[in-house]
Amino acid sequence: MVIMFLILLFSIAQSLEVSKINSQVYTLIPYVMKITDFPEKLKGSTVKEWMFKDALPMDKSFVKNTNLEGIPQEIEVSFGWTLRRTNMKMYPTDLPIYKNNKDIDLNQYTLLEPFTPLAVLHTSKDREWLYVQSPFMRGWVKKKDVIIKEKKELLKVLSLPFLVVLKPKLYIKNLEFGLGAKVPYLNKEGELYRVLLPDGSSYRVSLSEGFNDGYLAYSEGIVKSLLEGFLGQPYDWGGMHGSWDCSSFIRDVFSLFGLELPRNSQQQSQIGIKVKEGFNSYEEMKTTLETLPPFRTLIFLRGHVMLYGGMEGKDIVIYHALYGILLDDGKYIKVKKIVKNLLERDKLTNIYKRVISVNVLE
C-alpha cells in the first residue's frame, strides 16, 4: 500500500498534462463534444432525449415552446457561433425557475462567450430560440445571438491562431469578452494583432490590453497570481450576469492553459486522479492535502468545488467562488463573491465532513 501511494504521489507531482486531461473529459462527460467532429445528421430521438435530461417542474408553456412536434426523425445539423456573450437556458424562455432561493435560477445553464462554436439542432415554436450543442454544454440560446455558417467556414475560423482573454471582462469595439474567451486573429503587425470579430469585421488590439497569444504555460505561480487578482469578484449563478459560480470559475481559470473541463461540479468531480472520497477528521484532511500539489488539486463538496491553494503556515488555503458557507459554530453566512479562505483562521475546519472527493489534475 505504501509503495502504491508513493507511485501515485510521484505521478501527481508531474506537470499538468493538458491533452491527457482533455481526453479524459471527452471520454467520460457526454455533455462535452468537439464541434469540429459533430455529425451533420442526428436522430431526432437523440435530441429529444438530450432536451429533457435535466427536466425540472416548469410552466407548461416552457415545454410547448420547445416545439417537440417539429423535431423530425432525422435532423440536418447546422453550424455557427455566438455573436456576443449570451446565456444558455434549460428551456427556451427568459423566465426563471426557482426552488428555494430567488438568487438561483435553475433555468440558467451557463454563459457562452462570443465566437463559441455551435452545432444548431432545433428551433423553438416562437422562432426566437435555438437548441444547440456548445463545446461543453447543450441547451437553448437566443436566435439573435447566433450566426449560422457553413461548417467549412466554422472550421476555417477554428483553425486560426487566437488570443486568450486574461481579464474578468474585456471589450473589443464595445463587444464584451470574459476570462478564457478565445479571439481568433488574422495577422500580427509589430505589437498589434488584427483580430476577427464574430460579425466578420476586424480590429487591432495589443497584448497589453489583457490578452495572451495562445494558451498560457501552466505554473502554480501563474494560477496563484490569477486567483489573487480575482478575489472579490461577485458570485453569479450560471454566469447570468457575466461573472462566475464555483464550477465556471474553475473551468475558466484552467481554460487559460488549454484545459477543456466540463461545466458543473458534479461533472468536474469525474476528472483527474481521485485521491480521496471523504475524510474522518480535519487532521486527516490536512495531512492528505499537504502531500498534494496546490493550484491543481480540486476539493468537491456536494454541489460545490474549491481549489486547494497550499498551506499558509499550518493552515489549509482554498480559493472558490462562494455563495454561502456554514461556519464551525453552525452559523451560515452569505458571501456571494470569490474568496480565499484559510480553514482554521476562518473557522471552517468542519468542512472536512462535507468533502466527497479530492481530485488532482495531473
pLDDT digits (tens, 9 = 90+) for 167-208: 999 999 999 999 999 999 999 999 999 999 999 999 999 999
With contact defined as beta carbons under 8 Å apart, do 191 and 207 qualify? yes
- Asked whether the predicted pLDDT for residue 30 surpasses 90, the reply is yes
User: What pLDDT is attached to residue 57?
Assistant: 64
pLDDT digits (tens, 9 = 90+) for 225-265: 999 999 999 999 999 999 999 999 999 999 999 999 999 99
Taking the whole predicted model, whether its pTM rises above 0.75 is answered as: yes
Enter the CATH code of domain 2-27+218-360.
3.90.1720.10
Q: What is the longest distance spanned by two Cα atoms in the chain?
A: 62
Extents of the domains making up the chain: 2-27+218-360, 31-153, 160-213
- Asked whether the predicted pLDDT for residue 3 surpasses 60, the reply is no
Residue of 158, 181, 178 whose CA lies nearest to 170: 178
pLDDT digits (tens, 9 = 90+) for 78-119: 999 999 999 999 999 999 999 889 999 999 999 999 999 999
* One CATH from 3.40.190.10, 1.25.40.20, 1.10.10.10, 2.30.30.40 for 160-213: 2.30.30.40
Burial classification of residue 60, based on how many CB atoms lie within 10 Å of its CB (0-12 exposed, 13-18 middle, 19 or more buried): exposed
pLDDT digits (tens, 9 = 90+) for 271-323: 999 999 999 999 999 999 999 999 999 999 999 999 999 999 999 999 999 99
With contact defined as beta carbons under 8 Å apart, do 300 and 359 qualify? yes
- Tell me the pLDDT band of 55, cut-offs 50, 70 and 90: confident
User: What pLDDT is attached to residue 15?
Assistant: 74
